[in-house]
């Protein structure tokens, strides 16, 4: 079967699709890179092709890395980490949302995605990212409930922006009037005790690796903390 190629005349989309499959199933460390390269799949340049090949080389050099699924008896049922890189795209100044969720200590869901609107502050960008994370938390909670793994305790989501946490708890009202109403459902779930948004130090924010490029040492450290081991 013939596959459609871009004007670059290289199998950019095919390679990106393969990386996306690997990222979604077993390699969360590829999440930000795959999302970033996916922004250029309509008309990639030679520079984008070379960057994509660097991702493939990284995957080849780290092919022994695997996710370890081992239930931690002391871990909570669902714990999430949400983060955002404010105005991370220098072209349109849209921010990047990222989150990761652990179930009984094991990473099961992660995401890196450019936001559809331009945030006017760091807190707003973080609030939009938190909105995506809360949606995922509710979905995971539904799956576990179907498996008869339910608890009465709220699901914790860690966020490193105090302004965002204040918005979620309805303590900051003046600065949220212009934010799309669809994001404010966070407050309902916080108020009814389903979601508990907790502060966390930036250095301990696992979702940081899903929003931006990091230095090698911090990237490797976060890989270990999310459960990637060789």
- Shared domain for 21 and 129, answered yes or no, is no
Q: In the chain, how many domains are there?
A: 2
- Shared domain for 133 and 52, answered yes or no, is no
Judge whether 72 lies within some domain: no
- Shared domain for 59 and 82, answered yes or no, is no
Report mean pLDDT in 10-residue bins for the chain, 230 residues.
59 96 96 95 93 96 92 92 90 93 97 92 92 96 91 93 90 60 81 95 96 95 93
Judge whether 126 lies within some domain: yes
Residue 90 is predicted with a pLDDT of 76
Residue 135 is predicted with a pLDDT of 95
Residue 161 is predicted with a pLDDT of 95
SS in 3 state form for the chain? CCCCCCCCCCCHHHHHHHHHHHHHHCCHHHHHHHHHHHCCCCCCCHHHHHHHHHHHHHHHHCCCCEECCCCCCCCCCEEEEEEEECCCCCCCCCCEEEEEEEECCEEEEEEEEECCCCCCCHHHHHHHHHHHHHHHHHHHHHHHHHCCCCCCCCEEEEECCHHHHHHHCCCCCHHHCCCCHHHHHHHHHHHCCCEEEEECCHHHCHHHHHCCCCCHHHHHHHHHHCCEEC
Judge whether 6 lies within some domain: no
Residue 45 is predicted with a pLDDT of 93
- Shared domain for 129 and 215, answered yes or no, is yes
Provide the domain limits for residue 25: 12-63
Judge whether 202 lies within some domain: yes
- Shared domain for 128 and 181, answered yes or no, is yes
Residue 203 is predicted with a pLDDT of 94
Residue 139 is predicted with a pLDDT of 96
- Shared domain for 107 and 200, answered yes or no, is yes
Judge whether 114 lies within some domain: yes
Judge whether 71 lies within some domain: no
- Shared domain for 101 and 183, answered yes or no, is yes
Residue 150 is predicted with a pLDDT of 80
- Shared domain for 163 and 201, answered yes or no, is yes
Q: Provide the CATH number for the domain around residue 128.
A: 3.30.420.10
- Shared domain for 92 and 149, answered yes or no, is yes
Residue 175 is predicted with a pLDDT of 59
- Shared domain for 121 and 27, answered yes or no, is no
- Shared domain for 26 and 99, answered yes or no, is no
- Shared domain for 57 and 86, answered yes or no, is no
Residue 230 is predicted with a pLDDT of 82
Residue 8 is predicted with a pLDDT of 79
Judge whether 165 lies within some domain: yes
Judge whether 120 lies within some domain: yes
């Amino acid at each position: 079967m013939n596959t459609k190629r871009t004007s670059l005349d290289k199998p950019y989309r095919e390679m990106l699709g393969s990386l996306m499959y690997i990222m979604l199933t077993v390699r969360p460390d590829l999440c930000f890179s795959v999302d970033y390269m996916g922004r250029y799949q309509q008309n990639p340049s030679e520079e984008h092709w070379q960057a994509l090949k660097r991702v493939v080389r990284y995957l080849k050099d780290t092919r022994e890395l695997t996710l370890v699924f081992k239930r931690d008896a002391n871990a909570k049922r669902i714990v999430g980490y949400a983060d955002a890189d404010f105005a991370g795209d220098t072209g349109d100044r849209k921010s990047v949302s990222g989150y990761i969720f652990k179930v009984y200590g094991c990473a099961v869901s992660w995401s890196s995605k450019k936001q559809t609107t331009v945030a006017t502050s760091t807190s707003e960008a973080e609030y939009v990212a938190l909105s995506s994370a809360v949606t995922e938390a509710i979905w995971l909670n539904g799956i576990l409930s179907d498996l008869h793994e339910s608890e009465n305790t709220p699901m914790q989501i860690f966020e490193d922006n105090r302004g965002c946490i204040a918005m979620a708890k309805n303590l900051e009202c003046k600065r949220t009037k212009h934010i799309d109403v669809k994001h404010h459902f966070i407050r309902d779930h916080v108020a009814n005790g389903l979601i508990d948004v907790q502060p966390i130090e930036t250095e301990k924010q696992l979702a940081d690796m899903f929003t931006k490029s990091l230095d090698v040492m911090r990237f490797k450290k976060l890989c270990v903390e999310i459960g990637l081991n060789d």
